[in-house]
A and B are shown apart, each in its own frame.
Chain A
Amino acid sequence: MVVILGTLGHHPETLLPTIRSTKGVDEVVAFHSDHEDSIKAVEEIRRTCQMMEVAFLPHPIPDAFDLVSTAMEIQKTIAELRAENKKIAVFNIAGGTRIMSASALLVCTLEGLNAVYVHDDSHREIPLPLLQIKYSDILTDQEKLILRFLLDRKGAEVTQRDLASELHLHKATINHHVQQLLEKRAVRLEEKEGDKRVRLIRVEDSMALLLR
């Protein structure tokens, strides 16, 4: 089953070129906000899909102004589609709010999906130069394990010693992986308040998107 995804704002015409150009499309999934004009655009796409006998799944985004939660929502939908063995042909990122479009582009890069935008005047689809490999492949399994551990203990003070003891790994092994994570800018070190000798390992919340 071939699926196309798209962010949808007030103008249904941003998504139409992709519906028209994708060979053998069976399903269209559109991410949209609850804005009145977006709902109108959803109805327009629904009518087009009905005429084409293509399934249409509108997917409301609860907070179209929150980049991380929007990206997580899109990522979750992609995981569900993949679990159902559906083939995602392309993601059209041309519609919706700035946050929705940026979230979609971010997720396309993270998930290794084909992405297109549509030129405003010509309505021509422009493919974006993204690699179709998972972004998280940059991280090793051990690096992901450490990141997951840190994200699960959000805000807690974690040192390399804590990591070694909790993950049952040698201190030198942990040090190597932490250095690699620092090199890749996935984590940062912070001096502990009141004790400058202790270096805490910190991770940004948005790094959770790399592990989904």
Chain B
Amino acid sequence: MRTLICTYGYRQDKIVKAMRTIEHDELVLVTGKGNTARPEYSRILELARKFDTPVETVIVDIFDFMSCFTRIDEIVRKRQAAKQSVVINISGGLWLLSDAALMAAMNNGCESYYVDDVIKKMPLMLPVLKVNIGERLTSEQKETLLELKEGMSVPASGSPDKGPETRLRALRELKRMGMLSIDTSSGGPRVFLTPNGRSITEWLKR
């Protein structure tokens, strides 16, 4: 089973071109409220029906980047958990929706495309490798992030069954990656997640 997730605004051509050029068994349209009332949307459904392609439409708040990202991320991870492959076409809808889909694709290692008239070679495959964000971190780094409590003192951070050197190394690496900050203003060093570190930890927990 191969799911094609398309961001969708109102232009049917971007979806139709993706349907013609990207192999898929199921179509998921991610779009804003109101776009499903347009005749272009009905034409996409009609075409999908002719090809016996199931369509799921997911309505998102297209002005809220993080909620778009979280929703697309959920769709991807649900399918990946069921051992289905997922392809993402980021060319429809507002830029914010495209960017959210691109980020979900990169974080989950999904095959991704951009489909548009202005591209000579279509569809344009984006350089997204089949590696998700969790696979780019070492197990010590992931463990440290997942077990970290805000304001923990440095020696106590991380898993108790790991040696202090392993924990300190992971903390140093995570700090270098901009995911942690160390505060020494009130006595011993204490560890805090940066906004970026918090977002990635939330992603790992989901």
- Write the residues of chain A forming the contact surface with B, with a CB cutoff of 8 angstroms: 65-68, 93, 96-98, 101-102, 105-106, 109-110, 112, 114, 117, 119-121, 126-133, 135, 137-139, 183-186, 204-207, 209-210
Contacts and interface: CB of A to CB of B under 8 A. Distances in A.
A150 to B, nearest CB: 13
A105 B99 contact: yes
Contacts of B109: 185
A200 to B, nearest CB: 17
A120 to B, nearest CB: 5
Contact of A106 (B107, B126, B133): B126
Closest 4 CB pairs of A and B: A129-B199, A98-B95, A185-B130, A132-B178
A204 B127 contact: yes
Interface of B: 63-66, 90, 94-96, 98-99, 102-103, 106-107, 109, 111, 114, 116, 118-119, 121, 124-131, 133, 136-137, 176-179, 194-196, 199-200, 202-203
Q: Indicate the member of A205, A206, A209 with the most B CB atoms within 10 Å.
A: A206
Contacts of A110: 127
A133 B202 CA distance: 18
Nearest to B197: A129
A129 B196 contact: yes
A102 B99 contact: yes
A138 B103 CA distance: 17
A84 to B, nearest CB: 21
Q: Indicate the member of A121, A128, A209 with the most B CB atoms within 10 Å.
A: A128
12 contacts: A102-B95, A102-B98, A106-B106, A117-B96, A126-B65, A127-B195, A130-B196, A131-B200, A132-B177, A185-B130, A204-B125, A206-B124
Given A102-B114, A106-B126, A185-B111, A127 B96 contact: no
Nearest to A105: B99
Contacts of B136: 131, 133, 137-138
Contact of A183 (B114, B121, B130, B203): B130
A135 to B, nearest CB: 8
A114 B196 contact: yes
A133 B133 CA distance: 11
A109 B200 CA distance: 13
Nearest to B200: A129
Contact of B99 (A67, A93, A205): A93
Contact of A114 (B65, B102, B126, B178): B178
B196 A109 contact: no
Nearest to A93: B99
B138 to A, nearest CB: 11
Contacts of A131: 133, 136-137, 177, 200
A106 B127 contact: yes
Q: Indicate the member of A66, A132, A204 with the most B CB atoms within 10 Å.
A: A132
A10 B119 CA distance: 24
A65 B131 contact: no
B63 A120 contact: yes
Nearest to B178: A132
A138 to B, nearest CB: 5
Given A120-B63, A131-B137, A186 B99 contact: no
A107 to B, nearest CB: 10
Nearest to B111: A185
A137 B137 CA distance: 11
Nearest to B131: A138
Nearest to B202: A129
B129 A98 contact: no
A101 B99 contact: yes
A31 to B, nearest CB: 14
Contacts of A121: 63
B170 to A, nearest CB: 14
